[in-house]
């Protein structure tokens, strides 16, 4: 905790990436503590995450609906994608469309097997998070000297 406090008090203009606590822990903290600015920011982040997940879900369902010529409303989130009749050509095209739309590298194997739409949304979210985390880390990586100054 002292190291974190030293970093927070450091006058560097750089940023550090600190992984968030698990959802179970943060939920417990929200119940145990009064409403603060950080709680508000956490709620906003969760709302943005929900909106992003809904957008990803919509992207998958709409493209799957179009490719299979079925109504989007008939595609359930808990039914494996392959059970709708996705063959290798449709699967490759769906993954390509998702990759282009979201600018990610979703592996083709993520679609096949017993993967449901909900699970596919989660996999895509993880791919995006890993890509974003890597980009932020590379962009804001502290130099050796900055680490020595802040973390004595």
Cα–Cα distance, 128 to 138 (Å, whole number): 15
Q: Give me the pLDDT at residue 44, please.
A: 82
Cα–Cα distance, 78 to 26 (Å, whole number): 27
Q: ∠ at Cα 88 (83, 94), nearest 5°?
A: 80
> From residue 106, how far is each of 4, 12, 85, 92 by CA, in Å?
35, 36, 20, 11
Tokens of 68: 């299979």
82-127 pLDDT, tens per residue? Answer: 999 999 999 999 999 999 999 999 999 998 889 999 999 999 999 9
Q: Give me the pLDDT at residue 130, please.
A: 86
**H helices present in the chain, as ranges:** 2-9, 23-32, 37-68, 88-102, 117-140, 144-150
Domain 47-140: give its CATH code: 1.10.1200.10
118-147 pLDDT, tens per residue? Answer: 999 999 999 988 887 765 555 555 555 555
Residue in the structure block whose two tokens are 């709620």: 43
Best CA proximity match to 147, nearest among 42, 16, 55, 5: 16
14-50 pLDDT, tens per residue? Answer: 434 344 444 544 454 444 445 577 777 778 878 888 8
Q: Give me the pLDDT at residue 134, please.
A: 63
Cα–Cα distance, 49 to 124 (Å, whole number): 12
Residue in the structure block whose two tokens are 């494996």: 80
Q: Give me the pLDDT at residue 21, please.
A: 40
Cα–Cα distance, 70 to 64 (Å, whole number): 8
């Amino acid at each position: 905790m002292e190291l974190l406090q030293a970093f927070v008090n450091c006058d560097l203009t750089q940023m550090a990436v600190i992984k968030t606590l698990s959802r179970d822990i943060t939920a417990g903290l929200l119940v145990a503590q009064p409403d603060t600015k950080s709680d508000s920011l956490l709620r906003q982040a969760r709302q943005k995450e929900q909106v992003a997940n809904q957008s990803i879900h919509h992207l998958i369902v709409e493209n799957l609906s179009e490719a299979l010529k079925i109504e989007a409303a008939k595609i359930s989130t808990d039914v494996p994608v392959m059970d709708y009749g996705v063959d290798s050509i449709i699967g490759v095209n769906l993954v390509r469309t998702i990759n282009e739309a979201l600018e990610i590298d979703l592996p083709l194997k993520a679609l096949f097997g017993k993967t449901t739409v909900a699970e596919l949304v989660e996999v895509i979210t993880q791919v995006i998070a890993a890509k974003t985390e890597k980009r932020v880390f590379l962009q804001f990586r502290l130099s050796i000297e900055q680490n020595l100054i802040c973390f004595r």
